[in-house]
Amino acid sequence: MIEGRKLRWFITGASSGFGLEIARAALARGDEVMATVRQAGQLAKLRDEGAHPCQLDVNDPAAVSDAVETAVSTMGGVDVLVNNAGFGMVGAIEALSMDDVRAVMETNFFGVLRVTQAFAPVLRDGKGTIVMISSVAGQVGFAGIGAYCGSKFALEGMADVLGGEMAPFGVDVMIVEPGAFRTDFSGRSIRAVDTSVDAYAGMQAGEAKSLVAQYHGHEPGDPVNAARIIVDVVKSGSPPRRLALGGDAVAGIEGRLATLKCEMGEWREASLATAFDS
């Protein structure tokens, strides 16, 4: 159990949303936080919150290496790494350019991998915790956000393996799967592809941009409550591999699991009829 112990957090993407609220929740519990943003103009805000501000683009290898050194020199180490930096993208898969897909994968997957690799030695030495902010879209595919779903499915696959590899060192890996929360994700943090395909007009795949815009500001999830729960679970000392947040996330993931179980049962005979005849 680590309840009551002062933890040292390193949080990416802390300008707003989950990143900022997790920083606030950890600070409220008496922990020490280094929080990162991409824009220098946002550093003062984090300093005012009581965090150690750090400018970081997770796609810049040199900046990531510098951030590790800064975190260790400033806080003496890191107990909890929160990979939160990322953005959403809407557009039917047929309408995506390769540049669109590469952009979202670069930040949501490769950026997370880059930061995780850089901090792994520090976390191994201290038996720390890695928190991956994924999404219900890392478990359930939604029409119109295929690139984003792809990035989160990839993140979860990597994080699952990482959890097994780090377990012998006493390092926990927790994948957080939020549903719809009232953050900037549906506003400033989401991008739309430049092209559209007429065939998808009137369908979710073709109307995802407007649907997301209409939903922005009306999401049921409270990011303050989510951040408090994340911090509490980390500080419990026994975080689960996956933590779904929000009734929509729970229902969506449970529905997918039920569908998978049903399909496996229906096609079980065919699935098992592949061995060489004995």
Residues 6 or more apart whose Cβ sits within 8 Å of residue 175: 132, 134, 138, 155, 156, 159, 160, 241, 242, 243
Closest CA to 9 of 101, 82, 89: 82
CATH architecture assignment, domain 8-247: 3-Layer(aba) Sandwich (3.40)
Dihedral pair phi/psi, residue 242, rounded to 5°: -130, 140
Per-residue model confidence (pLDDT) at position 3: 60
pTM of the model: 0.93
Per-residue model confidence (pLDDT) at position 1: 41
Helix axes 98-105, 146-166, angle to 10 degrees: 30
Give the domain ranges of the chain.
Answer: 8-247
Catalytic residue among 15, 135, 152, 186: 152
Compute CA 9 distance to the chain's CA centroid, rounded to the nearest angstrom.
16
Residue 108: how many other CB atoms lie within 10 Å: 27
3-21: pLDDT as tens digits: 668 999 999 999 999 999 9
31-57: pLDDT as tens digits: 999 999 999 999 999 999 999 999 999
**Catalytic residue status for 134:** yes
Catalytic residue among 134, 135, 151, 186: 134
Residues 6 or more apart whose Cβ sits within 8 Å of residue 254: none
Alpha helices in the chain (DSSP H): 17-28, 43-49, 61-75, 98-105, 112-126, 146-166, 204-215, 223-236, 247-266, 268-272
Q: 135, 152 in Cβ contact below 8 A?
A: yes
Q: What is the DSSP letter of 187?
A: T
Catalytic residue among 15, 16, 135, 148: 148
